Amino acid sequence: MNDRFRPVAAAKMLNKNSVLQIDLAGILLAAILMISPSVAAQPNDPEIRQATPPLFASHLPLQVTIQAPLTTLTRDRPEEEYLHGLFTFTGDDGAARTVDLKIRTRGNYRRDEEHCDFPPIRLNLRTKQLVDSVFAGQDKLKVVTHCRSKNRHFEQLVLREFLAYRIFQVMTNKSYGVRLLQVNYVDTEGAKPMTKLAFAIEDDDDVARRVGMMSVNVPDIANEDLDRQQQNLVNVFQYLIGNTEFSLIRAEPDKYCCHNADLISATGGPPFTPLPYDFDFAGLVNAPYAQPNPRYDIRHVRHRLFRGLCSNNDLLMGTIQHYLDRKDAVYAIVDEIDMLTRGSRRYVTLYLNSFYKRISTPKKIDNAFVKRCE
- Look at residue 5 and tell me whether its pLDDT is greater than 90: no
pLDDT at residue 50, as a whole number: 55
224's CB contacts (< 8 A; 6+ apart) are 270
Longest pairwise C-alpha distance within the chain = 71
* Rounded Cα distance, 371 and 305, in Å: 11
Per-residue pLDDT of 194-221, as tens digits, reads: 999 999 999 999 999 999 999 999 999 9
* Rounded Cα distance, 194 and 181, in Å: 13
Q: Which amino acid is at 205?
A: D
Q: What is the average pLDDT score of the chain?
A: 88
Helix axes 327-336, 342-358, angle to 10 degrees: 170
Residue 279 near residue 165, CB atoms below 8 Å:
yes
Per-residue pLDDT of 226-270, as tens digits, reads: 999 999 999 999 999 999 999 999 998 889 999 999 999 999 999
Q: Is the peptide bond before 116 cis (omega within 30 degrees of 0)?
A: no
pLDDT at residue 38, as a whole number: 35
> Cα 278 from chain centroid?
6
Residue 260 near residue 278, CB atoms below 8 Å:
yes
Residue 317 near residue 30, CB atoms below 8 Å:
yes
Would residue 190 be called left, alpha or beta, if left means φ above 0 and alpha means ψ between -120 and 50 degrees?
left
270's CB contacts (< 8 A; 6+ apart) are 221, 224, 225, 226
Per-residue pLDDT of 164-184, as tens digits, reads: 999 999 999 999 999 999 999
pLDDT at residue 253, as a whole number: 87
**Which one is predicted more confidently, 286 or 108?**
286
pLDDT at residue 33, as a whole number: 36
Residue 249 near residue 271, CB atoms below 8 Å:
no
Per-residue pLDDT of 279-297, as tens digits, reads: 999 999 999 999 988 999 8
Per-residue pLDDT of 324-353, as tens digits, reads: 999 999 999 999 999 999 999 999 999 999
- Look at residue 28 and tell me whether its pLDDT is greater than 80: no
348's CB contacts (< 8 A; 6+ apart) are 160, 163, 284, 334, 340
Residue 143 near residue 201, CB atoms below 8 Å:
yes
Per-residue pLDDT of 58-107, as tens digits, reads: 999 999 999 999 999 999 999 999 999 999 998 777 789 999 999 999 99
pLDDT at residue 32, as a whole number: 35
Q: In the chain, pLDDT over 70 holds for what percent of residues?
A: 86
Q: Buried b vs exposed e over 341-367: b needs ≥16 C-beta within 10 Å? A: eeebbebbbebbbebbebbbbbeebee
* Rounded Cα distance, 227 and 207, in Å: 16
Q: Can you give the residue ranges of every domain in the chain? A: 10-48+214-372, 54-207
Q: What is the DSSP string of 235-303?
A: HHHHHHHT----BSS-PPTTS-S-BTEEEEESSSSSSBEEEE---TTSTTT--TT----TTS--SSTTS
Can you tell me the mean pLDDT for 31-51?
40
CA nearest 279: which of 168, 115, 368, 204? 168
